[in-house]
Structure 1
Amino acid sequence: MKKVIVLLVVFASVFTACKTGKQEKVEVKEEVKVAEVVALNNVDLANSVISWKGSKPTGTHNGTIQLKESSLIIKEGALTGGSFVIDMASIKVLDIPADEKGNGKLIGHLASADFFDVANFATSSFVITKVENVENKLQVTGNLTLRGETKSITIPATIATENGVTTFTSETFNVDRTDFGVTYKSKKLDAALKDKFINDLMEISFVVKTKA
């Protein structure tokens, strides 16, 4: 009987966790001052991508953004620095077919002043300021700039080199958009929204490849 009760408690705990869908966000700190980053422009832009995902009570949207003028600094097989310039005008939505009206409507809204205000902030960026190896996994600290706001974050990542191409892959991490001035329909800032809010946490991940 005790075993049955324990199993029921475990099941209830798992069900509750899944239902709440709690996400952990990366800690944001003040921008780290760094010297000018060497622009190697050695990234294969066509085969590098940023993936994003946003959510609200009624569902999720996901897509990609492309890089431009980006660099990875590798010394003796180890990542030591780099910078990713993000072309905000390249944002794509993948969960709505490209030929459907809703696709263009969502892209337009994301590009508007409600979200990333692409007209005034055409690029975002991630500049690596420190790389540590912790239990065979990289802890990459860098200055993330979105909508003109810059914060220091640390994300887990890996690098691998094959046939002369080095690939930097971050784990999916969660950023609180309100830390970067993106406050549209944030329940944290407007409790009157009730269930009409958009989650503050955005999922982001990087896959960045160097040129062969």
Structure 2
Amino acid sequence: MKNNLKNTLVIALVAFFTLSFTTVVGDKKEVKTDKSKLVWKGYKVTGSHEGTIEIKSGHLVFDNDKLTGGEFVIDMTTIGATDLEGEYKGKLDGHLKSDDFFGVEKYPTATLVFTKVKASGKNAYDVTGDMTIKGKTHPVKFSISIYGSKATASLKVDRTKYDVRYGSTSFFDDLKDKAIYDEFDLVADLEF
């Protein structure tokens, strides 16, 4: 009887300490890449261009239906313009993939890892994350809204922080109407 009581007590203590010092990982929801969309828009003195990039993989992490984290891998080899056709589209797509811009042969993916998530309203969150493009990592801040199994996020990215300097007035003089603004927009419509 004493041995059974001792064994029960030891099991209870082990269970208590195990649960006390174990971090419970939230509910990880994989993003459906075939039903999600990532749109970019870049601006220049004489106008703008826009297009898409495919999400290679991604997930959002929830704790009791509250967003707590996320991580995404973007397939940079898929970057392409949607506002041009034919020869002009081919030229822009090729230039974006070249070393002048994203160097996709050497850097085929970009990543975004959430480092801080704070609720900012019903279904809305302010997120800080580490974005890596061309092997360079910098913090970014953005907002994300979640409704059911869908999410929408938008952020501005300063391309020069990631060594994407082509046509930037921050690095080149006398560009005049050939100048391309440093910031571009990303808008994600996600389904998970």
TM range (shorter): 0.7 to 0.9
Corresponding position of 2:152: 169
The answer to whether residue 71 in structure 2 is matched with residue 88 in structure 1 is no
Contact 2:128 2:142 in 1 (8 A): yes
In 1: Cα distance, 2:130 partner to 2:113 partner:
5
The answer to whether residue 111 in structure 2 is matched with residue 128 in structure 1 is no
Q: Counterpart of 2:137 in structure 1: which amino acid?
A: T
Contact 2:33 2:55 in 1 (8 A): yes
Match of 1:151 among 138, 157, 160: 138
In 1: Cα distance, 2:150 partner to 2:29 partner:
15
Q: Counterpart of 1:116 in structure 2: which amino acid?
A: F
Q: Counterpart of 1:198 in structure 2: which amino acid?
A: I
Structure 1 residue runs without a partner (length 5+): 1-36
Count residues with an aligned counterpart.
Answer: 166
Contact 2:29 2:61 in 1 (8 A): no
In 2: Cα distance, 1:196 partner to 1:103 partner:
18
Corresponding position of 2:3: none
Contact 2:61 2:67 in 1 (8 A): yes
Structure 2 residue runs without a partner (length 5+): 1-24
In 2: Cα distance, 1:159 partner to 1:140 partner:
13
- Partner SS state of residue 30, structure 2: coil
Structure 1 residue 41: deviation in Å? 7.2
Relative to structure 1, the CA distance from residue 143 to residue 193 in structure 2 (aligned partners, 3 Å threshold; closer, same or farther) is: same
Structure 1 residue 194: deviation in Å? 2.5
In 1: Cα distance, 2:93 partner to 2:49 partner:
11
Higher relative contact order (CA 8 A, sep 6+): 1
RMSD between aligned residues: 1.8
- Partner SS state of residue 191, structure 1: coil
Structure 1 residue 195: deviation in Å? 2.6
Corresponding position of 1:105: 91
Corresponding position of 1:192: 174
Corresponding position of 1:71: 59
Structure 1 residue 109: deviation in Å? 0.4
- Partner SS state of residue 52, structure 2: strand
Contact 2:81 2:89 in 1 (8 A): yes
In 2: Cα distance, 1:94 partner to 1:194 partner:
25
Q: Find the structure with the greater CA-based Rg.
A: 2
Contact 1:170 1:206 in 2 (8 A): yes
Corresponding position of 2:30: 42
Corresponding position of 2:44: 56
Corresponding position of 2:11: none
Q: Counterpart of 2:152 in structure 1: which amino acid?
A: T
Runs of 4+ in 1 over 6 A off after TM superposition: none
Contact 1:41 1:69 in 2 (8 A): no
In 2: Cα distance, 1:69 partner to 1:41 partner:
11
Q: Counterpart of 1:85 in structure 2: which amino acid?
A: V
The answer to whether residue 163 in structure 2 is matched with residue 181 in structure 1 is yes
Corresponding position of 1:14: none
